[in-house]
């Protein structure tokens, strides 16, 4: 965990800043058998730093941005699961799904 904290500090973040972000739920070190931060956590910390310092976004704005980002990632995961499920279907079923999707696209235009 100390190594991960050092990695976060190299992002020019103070320990108190990291602790406040953890308390706010913006980043969360893993509490599993291999505790620490993932690359996604480090990228998230960079984003938070940029939002706060470079763009002047307040705490509420950061929370909203992170919530929306988490929703996007969740939707992407769900879409990948659907794509995997569709890919496993027989070809006629896949073709039928494509027809329905095209009809939906035409109906919304």
Average pLDDT on 15-42 reads: 82
Distance, CA of 50 to CA of 52 (rounded, Å): 5
In a domain, 104, yes or no: yes
Half-sphere exposure of 39 (CA within 13 A, CB side): 0
Judge if 52 and 3 occupy the same domain. Answer: yes
Judge if 32 and 3 occupy the same domain. Answer: yes
Q: What is the pTM (predicted TM-score) of this model?
A: 0.75
Distance, CA of 105 to CA of 81 (rounded, Å): 21
Judge if 47 and 82 occupy the same domain. Answer: no
pLDDT number for residue 18: 85
pLDDT at 5 over 70: no
Judge if 34 and 86 occupy the same domain. Answer: no
| 35: confidence class by pLDDT, cuts 50, 70, 90 | low
Distance, CA of 5 to CA of 27 (rounded, Å): 12
| Number of domains observed in the structure of the chain | 2
In a domain, 66, yes or no: no
In a domain, 79, yes or no: yes
Instruction: Provide DSSP, 63-77.
Output: HHHHHHHHHHHHHHH
pLDDT digits (tens, 9 = 90+) for 45-94: 999 999 999 999 999 999 999 999 999 999 999 999 999 999 999 999 99
Range of the structural domain that residue 33 is part of? 1-57
């Amino acid at each position: 965990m100390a190594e991960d904290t050092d990695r976060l500090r190299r992002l020019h973040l103070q320990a108190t800043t990291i602790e406040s972000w953890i308390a706010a739920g913006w980043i969360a070190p893993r509490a599993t058998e291999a505790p620490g931060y993932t690359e996604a956590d480090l990228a998230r910390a960079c984003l938070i730093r940029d939002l706060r310092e470079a763009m002047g976004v307040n705490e509420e704005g950061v929370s909203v941005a992170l919530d929306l980002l988490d929703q996007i990632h969740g939707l992407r995961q769900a879409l990948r699961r659907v794509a995997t499920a569709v890919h496993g279907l027989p070809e006629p079923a896949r073709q039928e799904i494509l027809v329905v999707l095209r009809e939906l696209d035409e109906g919304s235009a």
